[in-house]
Amino acid sequence: MRYRICVILDAPARRSGCGDRSHGESVATARQLSMEHEFEIEWIEGIAEAVPKPDGAFDFAISEYGAAIWADPTVWIPEAHRLLRSGGELILLGHTMWSQICTPHVPDGRTEPHLHHPYFGWRRADWSQIEEDGGIEFNLPIGEWLRLFDGTGFDVLDFHELQAPEHWTEERFWIPAQWAKQYPSEQVWHLRKR
């Protein structure tokens, strides 16, 4: 059986170079890996909110950070739904709301073990005026994610709030290891289109 896969990599709010890899490097690595493993992929570069493909074009879509944090979820989640066939699956991985509301809105701000922003009403963090390679990050409280998925036509198959392993010592995305051992810094959603 041949699967059609959509990798949702980018959004207009993201600026090149943000995070630990630039968009171009990520695409180059993905292309190289697909060739090494003889996995044929049609590459389409664009934005997650408007993919130039017909309805039901894919069996599976994944966004690891990419659109999961750089695109407005009320726009890209319905677009991912449109692109998937009935029964198709979407996986998205990104920061949790906790990591965002516990990070001060200052240059080089590190996630801290206390709140800096309200949980309710928080939708986006604009880092473009604070960090040289910053952009606009989007997120929702868990209840809003659930209502968005259900209202769009997705069933939630699984949800994980990731905890850093005890041996972890590195800082990642301005989140200290000690914080990520105590609080969920990343979330993974596994969805199926109804």
Q: Enumerate domains of the chain plus CATH numbers.
A: 5-193 (3.40.50.150)
pLDDT of residue 158: 98
- Number of C-beta neighbours around residue 30 at 10 A: 15
Asked if pLDDT for residue 190 goes beyond 90, the answer is yes
Close Cβ partners of 48 (under 8 Å, ≥ 6 residues apart): 8, 9, 10, 11, 63, 66, 67, 70, 71, 76, 79, 80
The answer to whether 105 touches 131, Cβ cutoff 8 Å, is no
pLDDT tens digits, one per residue of 135-171: 889 999 999 999 999 999 999 999 999 999 999 998 8
DSSP track, 7-51: E----TT--TT-SSS-HHHHHHHHHHHHHHTT-------S-TTS-
Task: Give mean pLDDT, residues 72-95.
Answer: 95
Task: Give mean pLDDT, residues 45-69.
Answer: 87
pLDDT of residue 26: 67
Q: Tell me the pLDDT of the chain averaged across its residues.
A: 84
Closest to 4 (Cα-Cα) out of 79, 58, 81: 58
Specify the DSSP element, H or E, that contains 137: strand 136-138
Quickly tell me which residue has 């959509």 as its tokens: 6
Asked if pLDDT for residue 27 goes beyond 80, the answer is no
Q: What is the pTM of this model?
A: 0.83
* Of residues 135 and 192, more confidently modeled: 192
The answer to whether 110 touches 175, Cβ cutoff 8 Å, is yes
